[in-house]
């Protein structure tokens, strides 16, 4: 049942954001961040909520909000950026505000990590492919049609299937599902396989004042390679050569662990060969990317921008070594600067932009948002741009006109997050405690409350557990790609959500993690962390083997 509330009034307050321990009126409050309570199973206005001990003392405390520059003392201990909430809503949110400090049992609603939309269906290979559970009947129909379009194999032009041609001419996959297999995570190619769900981004440093101005005002986030564009595409339609191939070589890095164990990391190095259109620019920067899982995207889109901004601390004013910053990008339809919350470097502001970009660059399909029918083919690739395209005037502008874009976007926004498993298992709870103790939760923020005024009703006012702050963080030399994109430097990456990570092997038959899939398991993923996460990494290395096992068990439960 959804919690009813009064309409918003002129009176506004702010939620309390804290990432470090403080003492107010004798009460030690730890790890505070914005959370919420939504249409969660069985919850109503009379439900028992988590009450903050010493709430009156906290409300009267003088608190500086971590990461909010120039924030003044709080008269009432609340924050005012959540203008989507009524007074009644704020009280409910405040009551569930603190993160866990009791690890003897699971938190309320922790199992329902996608809020009321959480999927509780059988865990199998389809675990990432179910619709958000609280959609209406009509929305479920749109979801299913969108699913069909997501799986659709596009054909080269001309073709007898007039509404399905327009592929390429250069492309990385023939369908969205081709990269996001079973709506899950991509992986590097196995020996002898073609790279499909891993591809290479390309760019060069700015060459002209015009380039520098475009980067400064964010009309561009990177300068494409002049001949090969923004992405390296190995596949092409009949009659055209692909852009080439690439090989991956590995360098082993030995990491001794406390307890006598040893981990061996494999650092990938990429070498492009068999170029189809001549040499690349000598300053070309290359960054490999695997396709991320699709679950919960609409809920992340519904996180209030003020919640993200309040967690940012780009100058590390609180001195905890964590200096996450907001990625600012332009909305392709409005041109306005907004928060980039999608993509490995936070380069897309919303799922529609992410979808249009993937159609254009990955498949070579135009849309109303990106109307070039030749996708990533550059002006220098004359053979590519001379081939027929698939736009049909009677069907609308572009090869994937609305409602195709609308339906695929809706599908992408409403893939349900699976329910957590084993939330009350003692070893999982011990692993959760360690996750907090070593500082993982400082970037992988466990929970938020989504906007009361989110565009889709199913996403409104939901308590969600994505384990991300949606900010950019310096991850050190080991993970650096040395390729800036927008506000993200060559060492910075957006914190990826962790919900569903424990089902990667079930859904995708592998356990490859990080932006390029280099980590072969959860422990390797942690050991690749550096930069702002260096201190947490060292603590994991120094753990007793049983504690490391418990930490991994917690990640497996997500």
Binning pLDDT at 50, 70 and 90, where does residue 80 land? confident
Nearest to 16 by CA among 73, 70, 101: 73
Nearest to 529 by CA among 393, 438, 401, 450: 438
Per-residue model confidence as pLDDT tens digits over 100-149: 899 999 999 999 999 999 999 999 999 999 999 999 999 999 999 999 99
**d(C-alpha 298, C-alpha 491), whole Å:** 27
Binning pLDDT at 50, 70 and 90, where does residue 170 land? very high
Task: Report the domain count for the chain.
Answer: 2
pLDDT at 54: 28
Stretch 245-267: mean pLDDT, rounded? 97
Instruction: Confirm whether 93 is domain-assigned.
Output: yes
Q: Residue 258 has which token pair? A: 């406390």
**d(C-alpha 317, C-alpha 536), whole Å:** 19
DSSP per-residue letters across 361-426: III----SSS--TTTT--TT-HHHHTS-----GGG-SSSS-TTHHHHHHHHHHTBPPBPPS-TT-H
Q: Contact, 257 vs 263, CB < 8 A?
A: yes
pLDDT at 37: 35
Cis check: omega of the bond before 301, within 30 degrees of 0 = no
450 and 510, same structural domain?
yes
Instruction: Confirm whether 303 is domain-assigned.
Output: no
pLDDT at 78: 65
515 and 494, same structural domain?
yes
Pick 177 or 4 by higher pLDDT. 177
Instruction: Confirm whether 411 is domain-assigned.
Output: no
Predicted confidence (pLDDT) at residue 202 exceeds the cutoff of 60: yes
Instruction: Confirm whether 278 is domain-assigned.
Output: yes
Binning pLDDT at 50, 70 and 90, where does residue 67 land? very low
479 and 386, same structural domain?
no
Distances (CA, A) of 269 to 79, 252, 274, 491, 530: 47, 11, 17, 16, 19
Token pair 């979801």 is found at 143
pLDDT at 178: 94
**d(C-alpha 463, C-alpha 159), whole Å:** 47
Distances (CA, A) of 509 to 120, 123, 180: 21, 14, 13
Per-residue model confidence as pLDDT tens digits over 473-488: 999 999 999 999 999 9
Instruction: Confirm whether 458 is domain-assigned.
Output: yes
220 and 256, same structural domain?
yes
Q: Contact, 445 vs 468, CB < 8 A?
A: yes
Distances (CA, A) of 404 to 146, 164, 295, 366, 397: 8, 11, 20, 11, 11
Instruction: Confirm whether 265 is domain-assigned.
Output: yes
Which of 341, 367, 398 is the endpoint of a domain?
398
pLDDT at 193: 85
Nearest to 165 by CA among 410, 29, 298, 364: 364
Distances (CA, A) of 174 to 233, 294, 478: 12, 18, 33
107 and 184, same structural domain?
no
Identify the three-state secondary structure at position 491: coil
**d(C-alpha 342, C-alpha 346), whole Å:** 5
Residue 392 domain boundaries: 137-292+350-398
Residue 264 parent element (H or E): strand 262-273
Per-residue model confidence as pLDDT tens digits over 400-426: 999 999 999 999 999 999 999 999 999
Query: In the chain, what's the furthest Cα-to-Cα distance?
Result: 75
Model pTM? 0.87
Task: Report the CATH number that the domain containing residue 525 is assigned in CATH.
Answer: 1.10.760
485 and 388, same structural domain?
no
94 and 155, same structural domain?
no
Instruction: Confirm whether 254 is domain-assigned.
Output: yes
User: What is the average pLDDT value for the chain, to the nearest integer?
Assistant: 87
pLDDT at 94: 80
**d(C-alpha 390, C-alpha 161), whole Å:** 10
Cis check: omega of the bond before 267, within 30 degrees of 0 = no
Strand stretches in 437-542, DSSP E? 448-449, 463-464, 472-474, 492-494
Predicted confidence (pLDDT) at residue 269 exceeds the cutoff of 90: yes
Which of 332, 367, 398 is the endpoint of a domain?
398
Predicted confidence (pLDDT) at residue 353 exceeds the cutoff of 90: yes
Instruction: Confirm whether 97 is domain-assigned.
Output: yes
pLDDT at 96: 78
101 and 233, same structural domain?
no
Binning pLDDT at 50, 70 and 90, where does residue 79 land? low
Q: Hey, what's the torsion of the CAs at 305, 310, 316, 322, to 10 degrees?
A: -70
Per-residue model confidence as pLDDT tens digits over 270-304: 999 999 999 999 999 999 999 999 999 999 999 99
188 and 116, same structural domain?
no
Binning pLDDT at 50, 70 and 90, where does residue 58 land? very low
163 and 119, same structural domain?
no
Which of 363, 398, 433 is the endpoint of a domain?
398
Residues 6+ apart with CB under 8 A from 494: 327, 340, 341, 343, 344, 345, 346, 468, 470, 471, 472, 473, 488
Share of the chain above pLDDT 70, in %: 86
178 and 111, same structural domain?
no
Pick 455 or 67 by higher pLDDT. 455
Predicted confidence (pLDDT) at residue 536 exceeds the cutoff of 80: yes
Residues in the chain: 558
437 and 355, same structural domain?
no
């Amino acid at each position: 049942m959804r919690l009813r509330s009064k309409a918003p009034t002129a009176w506004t307050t702010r939620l309390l954001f804290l990432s470090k321990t403080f003492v107010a009126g004798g009460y030690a409050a730890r790890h505070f961040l914005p959370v919420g309570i939504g249409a969660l199973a069985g919850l109503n206005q009379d439900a028992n909520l988590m009450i903050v001990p010493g709430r009156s003392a906290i409300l009267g405390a003088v608190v500086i909000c971590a990461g909010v520059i120039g924030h003044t003392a709080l008269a009432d201990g609340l924050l005012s950026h959540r203008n989507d909430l009524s007074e009644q809503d704020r009280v409910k949110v405040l009551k569930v505000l603190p993160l866990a400090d009791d690890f003897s049992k699971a938190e309320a609603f922790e199992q329902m990590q996608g809020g009321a939309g959480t999927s509780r269906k059988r865990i199998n290979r389809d675990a990432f492919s179910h619709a958000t559970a609280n959609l209406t009947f009509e929305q479920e129909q749109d979801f299913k049609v969108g699913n069909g379009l997501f799986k659709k194999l596009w054909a080269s032009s001309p073709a007898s299937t007039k509404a399905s041609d327009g592929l390429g001419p250069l492309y990385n996959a023939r369908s969205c599902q081709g990269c996001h297999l079973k709506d899950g995570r991509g992986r590097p190619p196995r020996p002898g396989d073609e790279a499909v769900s891993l591809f290479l981004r390309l760019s060069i440093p700015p060459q002209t004042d015009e380039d520098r101005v475009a980067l400064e005002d964010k009309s561009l986030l990177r300068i494409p390679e002049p001949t090969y564009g923004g992405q390296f595409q190995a596949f092409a339609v009949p009659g055209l050569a692909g852009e080439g191939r690439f090989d991956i070589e590995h360098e082993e890095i030995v990491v001794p662990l406390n307890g006598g164990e040893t981990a061996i990391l494999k650092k990938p190095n990429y070498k492009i060969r068999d170029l189809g259109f001549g040499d690349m620019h000598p300053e070309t920067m290359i960054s490999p990317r695997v396709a991320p899982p699709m679950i919960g995207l609409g809920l992340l889109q519904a996180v209030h921008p003020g919640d993200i901004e309040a967690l940012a601390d780009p100058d590390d004013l609180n001195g905890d070594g964590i200096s996450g910053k907001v990625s600012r990008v332009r909305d392709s339809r409005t041109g306005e600067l907004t928060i980039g919350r999608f993509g490995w470097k936070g380069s897309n502001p919303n799922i529609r932009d992410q979808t249009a970009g993937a159609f254009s660059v990955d498949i070579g399909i135009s849309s109303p948002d990106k109307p070039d029918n030749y996708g990533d083919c550059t002006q220098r690739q004359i053979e590519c741009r001379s081939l027929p395209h698939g736009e049909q005037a009677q069907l609308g502008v572009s090869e994937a006109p609305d409602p195709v874009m609308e339906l695929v976007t809706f599908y992408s926004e409403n893939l349900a997050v699976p329910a957590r498993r084993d939330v009350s298992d003692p070893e999982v709870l011990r692993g959760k405690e360690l996750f907090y103790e070593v500082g993982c939760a400082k970037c992988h923020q466990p929970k938020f409350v989504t906007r009361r005024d989110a565009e889709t009703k199913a996403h409104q006012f939901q308590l969600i557990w994505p384990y991300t702050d949606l900010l950019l963080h310096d991850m050190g030399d080991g993970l650096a790609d040395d390729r800036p994109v927008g506000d993200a430097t060559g060492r910075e990456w957006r914190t990826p959500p962790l919900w569903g990570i424990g089902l990667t092997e079930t859904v995708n038959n592998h356990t490859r993690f990080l932006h390029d899939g280099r980590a072969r398991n959860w422990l390797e993923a942690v050991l690749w962390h550096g930069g702002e996460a260096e201190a947490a990494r060292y603590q994991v290395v120094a753990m007793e083997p049983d504690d490391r096992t418990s930490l991994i068990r917690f990640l497996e439960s997500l």
